[in-house]
């Protein structure tokens, strides 16, 4: 079964990526993508479609539609997905341009703007953190030595610091995980609970917490936390994200396998 907690957490990453291609230096090997899981879901869908109608549906379209279905399965509503994308011929780790978890709001706004997405789109898309997990290594500095101060991040709820320190010991040799949405009743549901949590200073990643504090994004976070239209706004932002750097017409190709480009003629 397609798990919402798998694909929704990957949605922004998958759609910022152009391919699921294997290879030593492919986009899959870039540091921001090394925790991505769920490729077998895309492979299974591609195999079924190739058996029924070979050379018609691209891997890029499969990713977009799988993400939509996962959001729906996670009780996050349903949005329309445009199709007609083609797959790229190149997949390089150096082409990956994903914002890091410790990026500032201003730099994140710039990163999304380069993709043609607004600050409001960014706030809704980061709402994808309503489900999924983060490894301790991505936020451990906030628990022990934030920005070299030797102290935890003062913007994090002290009770959450204590809780996360038990999950993420300072000198641990393992990389544990924590839910991105700290509401235990909502961590598997695509809803606006994430926004309520970061307003309570319970954001796990630095960028999540700063969304609730920065003047550029605070008003949108506050409004979304108490609104009933998150699913609609999230879906619209996902549609915009799915239209970023799309190949159509004679550009690229329709891959036979999502893990490799088609054989090129000699």
Q: Which residues are annotated as a binding site for heme b?
A: 129
> Which residues make up each annotated binding site?
27, 99, 129-130, 181, 191
What DSSP line would sit under 10-75, residue for residue? HHHHHHHSS----STTSGGGSGGGTT---HHHHHHHHHHHHHHSTTTS-HHHHHHHHHHHHHHHTT
Count the neighbouring beta carbons within 10 Å of the beta carbon of residue 127. Answer: 28
> Which residues make up each annotated binding site for substrate?
99
> Which residues make up each annotated binding site for Ca(2+)?
27, 130, 181, 191
Query: How far is Cα 242 from Cα 126, in angstroms, rounded to an integer?
Result: 15
Distances (CA, A) of 258 to 19, 35, 46, 58, 99: 7, 18, 7, 8, 24
């Amino acid at each position: 079964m397609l798990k919402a907690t798998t694909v929704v957490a990957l949605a922004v990453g998958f759609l910022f990526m152009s391919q699921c291609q294997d290879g030593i230096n492919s986009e899959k090997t870039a540091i921001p993508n090394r925790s991505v899981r769920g490729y077998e879901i895309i492979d299974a869908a591609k195999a079924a479609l190739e058996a029924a109608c070979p050379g018609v549906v691209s891997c890029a379209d499969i990713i977009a539609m799988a993400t939509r279905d996962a959001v729906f399965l996670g009780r996050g509503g349903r949005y329309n997905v445009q199709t007609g994308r083609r797959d790229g011929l190149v997949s390089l780790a150096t082409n990956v341009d994903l914002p890091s978890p410790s990026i500032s709001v201003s730099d994140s706004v710039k990163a999304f703007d380069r993709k043609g997405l607004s600050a409001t789109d960014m706030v809704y898309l980061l709402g994808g953190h309503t489900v999924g997990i983060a490894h301790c290594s991505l936020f451990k500095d906030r628990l022990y030595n934030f920005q070299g101060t030797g102290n935890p991040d003062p913007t994090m709820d002290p009770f959450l610091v204590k809780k996360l320190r038990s999950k993420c010991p300072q000198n641990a040799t393992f990389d544990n995980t924590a839910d991105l949405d700290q509401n235990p009743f909502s961590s598997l549901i695509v809803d606006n609970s994430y926004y309520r949590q970061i307003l309570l200073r319970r954001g796990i990643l630095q960028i999540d917490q700063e969304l609730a504090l920065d003047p550029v994004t605070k008003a949108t976070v506050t409004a979304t936390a108490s609104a009933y239209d998150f699913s609609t706004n999230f879906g619209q932002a996902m549609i915009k994200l799915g239209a970023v750097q799309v190949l159509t017409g004679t550009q690229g190709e329709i891959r036979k396998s999502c893990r490799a480009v088609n054989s090129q003629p000699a």
